[in-house]
Structure 1
Amino acid sequence: MGEYSEALSLHQKALEIRDKILPANHQDLAQSFNNIGAVYYQTQQYPRALLYYEKVLDIFLKPLPANHPSLATGYNNVGGAHDIMGEYSNARSFYETVLEIDKKSLPSNHPDLAASYNNLALVHENMNEFIQALSYYERAPEIFQRNLSANHPDLTSIYNNIAKLYDKMREHATVVT
């Protein structure tokens, strides 16, 4: 925990300096907010992380075009904080925005696009929306297979997620019947 405390202290000092010398919408302020949010996220202080990730978005939303990759990163971080706090509807909304940005700004075989499909699948799975989750999960390996070796860990992770989903679907069907 000591390294995180020191990192947080240094990021806060950098933010104080930047806040004094930079305009309120400067990208370096967004970077400081993101760094602080990341430390809070890593130390499982998710509401605080969310607060700082939202500040990043506030800065990015003003000067950047709607499909800018930095916005996708910001939305993804906010979605991730909502997701880990169990606020799945909010997470889904942010992840859907990320996917739309990724579709517009990235090539169709970009790994970030596969990650967006995976994030949406996970959140739908957590909401017990298994068919929708499966639909998103199935898109991710198609993208990864175009870019990665057949033994790549990202592919195995997706396959494991799909297998776990099938297990959940089977268990859910057994409980319902």
Structure 2
Amino acid sequence: PLANTYNRIGAAFYQMNDFITAFSYYGKALKIQKKYLSPNHSTLAETNYHIAMTFAGLQQYRKAIEYAALAVNIARHSLESKDDRIRLYEDYLHELQEKPLIGVLPKNGSVHE
């Protein structure tokens, strides 16, 4: 239940585009989940997916891809092959892989990645 609460708080901050705070709460949830759930539990896939979305919001696409790939791998091992979440996570991973990995050059010219 505490991990679920952290996930819900993370989602609220994500919806407000406060990706750093969202990541903080998703990270807390993931830490608890890793401690108490099996390595291929579907809940871990979902949390990794949310973390991937958060990193994408921060334009940190390499990290987003890393977490999205984890979500896909866990989902493939924990869910039935016809489960829609597998396709959701796979589609999101492919979408991320199409992004330029160097990030975006802001007005000051620095690169985010």
Q: TM-score range by the shorter chain?
A: 0.7 to 0.9
Distance (Å, rounded) in 1 between the aligned partners of 2:66 and 2:23:
14
Matched, 1:162 2:93: yes
Pairs aligned (count): 105
% identical aligned pairs? 27
Which of 98, 101, 117 is equivalent to 2:32? 101
After superposition, the C-alpha distances for 1:86-119 in whole angstroms (9 at most, x for unaligned) are 0000000000101100000111111101111111
For structure 1, the 5+ residue unaligned runs are 1-69
Structure showing the higher helix proportion among its residues: 1
| TM-score (structure 2 length as normaliser) | 0.85
Structure having greater relative contact order (Cα 8 Å, sep ≥ 6): 2
- Asked if structure 1 preserves the Cα contact closer than 8 Å seen for 2:61 and 2:101, the reply is no
Gap change, CA 1:171 and 1:104, over 3 Å in 2: closer
Matched, 1:82 2:30: no
Distance (Å, rounded) in 1 between the aligned partners of 2:54 and 2:6:
15
For structure 2, the 5+ residue unaligned runs are 105-110
Which of 131, 137, 141 is equivalent to 2:72? 141
* Aligned pairs for 1:36-75 within 5 A: 70-75=1-6
Which of 23, 34, 37 is equivalent to 1:92? 23
Deviation at 1:171, TM superposition (A): 9.6
Distance (Å, rounded) in 2 between the aligned partners of 1:118 and 1:170:
18
Deviation at 1:168, TM superposition (A): 2.2
Deviation at 1:151, TM superposition (A): 3.0
Distance (Å, rounded) in 1 between the aligned partners of 2:46 and 2:80:
16
